[in-house]
Structure 1
Amino acid sequence: MLGSSLDTPNGPDEQDEASIDPRWLGIGLNACERALNEFAYLTVGHPLWPALRRLGIRDDRASGRFLDALQIADVNPSGPGRFDFAAETGLKRSTFAAVVFPVFDDQGETIDVAAWDLDSGALALWRGAACMLGEENICAPRIEHDGLTVHPDALAWLRAGRTGVIILDPARARWRLAEERLVVDDLAFGRRLRDALRLPPPQVFVMANDARRAA
């Protein structure tokens, strides 16, 4: 069309190239994105993929974020709730294949990597930077209801397509969720969640002079 050159002055091919996230080319990766790019590989085709399908995990989410798909990596436990990539440590003992995926903050920036063991259901973080999984969903539009769904474990969260959140560190997460309307599927879990996220009362100090005057 005559107007095409005016609407897209650089041409469609050049425009498409300009819109590509440079991280797909290995440019501008942060440490977490670089680790996923180097040590993980796509879930589809891996022997764990049929097991994920049987659990009802299909990884249908298509957010368009870099490295957002579920992947597989060989990992080593490195402490309570933490892991290392086996390809980085070189350790073979206690190595197992885990489902790994990026952890985002509320702005959608990658701040950590999570690893989930299908056999035990254990969930671990690479850097320990996140207090919850799914923090990017706090500000996302909610279609089913106006509350934020809190899942009890990784399996439930992954089955739900990684919508809602999982609380990893209640002491830190309680401040982030203080003004949110939280939704759960189980009454007992809801009570435990309420207690875990209860804000501590403020500390109140009495000035020495006022204390003597009151006496």
Structure 2
Amino acid sequence: MRLRTLGVHPEIIEQVATCMRVGRVIWLQNGRFSFEEQLPDSHVGVGGDRAFLFLVEASDGQAMDIVAWDPATGRLATWLGEAWALGQNALLQQHTLADSAPLVWRTVPAWLNAGRRGLVVIRLQVAVLHLRGANTLIAEDVPHGRQLKRLSGANGSRIMVPANLMGSGA
């Protein structure tokens, strides 16, 4: 599937070409994936799915995980099980989470169109722990804000929707 058909702007596609790759993956049950090439020889060529691949860095800039994304289904999974969100490294580099208001995007195309500012949650239970210190989270729209509030439970974060995003669908 082409990114342009998903609404990703052409200038964004040029920018992300340096941080994104395409590979064949096998989706595993636990929110993880394996590269098709990692399978035993008898299983290579079983028809792994094409997916976009993103490197996720730790706060020190070192590679920590790879995230696979299937644009046809929106499915996200991690290779090593370390990453909890696309964009988490920028969030973790901030000095204090309490002073920031992270943008939380519902979809990868919305995140890409935002210049990869903010994050897309992959592993909700882990993300809730990391976002615990945020006084405010910024959602895409009101329904997304309600979903974040419901999913974050006792987190206590305020959920806001920027006026320029309200009703835009992202």
Q: Give the TM-score normalised by structure 2.
A: 0.72
The unaligned stretches of length 5 or more in structure 2 are 156-170
Change (3 A) 1:195 1:70: same
Q: What SS is found at the alignment partner of 1:178?
A: coil
Cα displacement (A) at 1:59: 4.8
Moved beyond 3 Å, runs of 4+: none
Q: Give the TM-score normalised by structure 1.
A: 0.58
Deviations 1:62-82 (A, max 9, x none): 9xxxxx611111111122321
1:53 matched residue in structure 2: 4
Which structure's residues are more often strand, by fraction? 2
Q: How many residues align?
A: 143
C-alpha distance in structure 2 between counterparts of 1:84 and 1:61, whole Å: 23
- Selected match of 1:149 from 88, 103, 112: 103
Are positions 1:118 and 2:71 aligned together? yes
Highest Rg: 1 or 2? 1
Q: What SS is found at the alignment partner of 1:79?
A: coil
C-alpha distance in structure 2 between counterparts of 1:140 and 1:54, whole Å: 34
C-alpha distance in structure 2 between counterparts of 1:140 and 1:116, whole Å: 26
Alignment of 1:27-66 (within 5 A): 51-55=2-6, 56=8, 57-60=12-15
Q: What SS is found at the alignment partner of 2:34?
A: strand
Cα displacement (A) at 1:159: 2.6
Please tell me the residue identity of whatever aligns with 1:176.
H
Q: What SS is found at the alignment partner of 1:103?
A: strand
C-alpha distance in structure 1 between counterparts of 2:109 and 2:88, whole Å: 17
Deviations 1:21-53 (A, max 9, x none): xxxxxxxxxxxxxxxxxxxxxxxxxxx6xx123
Higher relative contact order (CA 8 A, sep 6+): 2
Please tell me the residue identity of whatever aligns with 2:49.
F
Please tell me the residue identity of whatever aligns with 1:184.
A
2:56 matched residue in structure 1: 103
Asked whether the equivalents of residues 69 and 75 of structure 2 are also in contact (C-alpha less than 8 Å), the reply is: yes
Are positions 1:166 and 2:120 aligned together? yes
Cα displacement (A) at 1:140: 5.2
2:82 matched residue in structure 1: 129
C-alpha distance in structure 2 between counterparts of 1:165 and 1:87, whole Å: 29
Cα displacement (A) at 1:154: 2.0
2:25 matched residue in structure 1: 75
The unaligned stretches of length 5 or more in structure 1 are 1-47, 63-67, 201-215
Q: What SS is found at the alignment partner of 1:185?
A: coil
Cα displacement (A) at 1:125: 0.9
C-alpha distance in structure 1 between counterparts of 2:80 and 2:31, whole Å: 10
Are positions 1:191 and 2:146 aligned together? yes
C-alpha distance in structure 2 between counterparts of 1:189 and 1:85, whole Å: 32
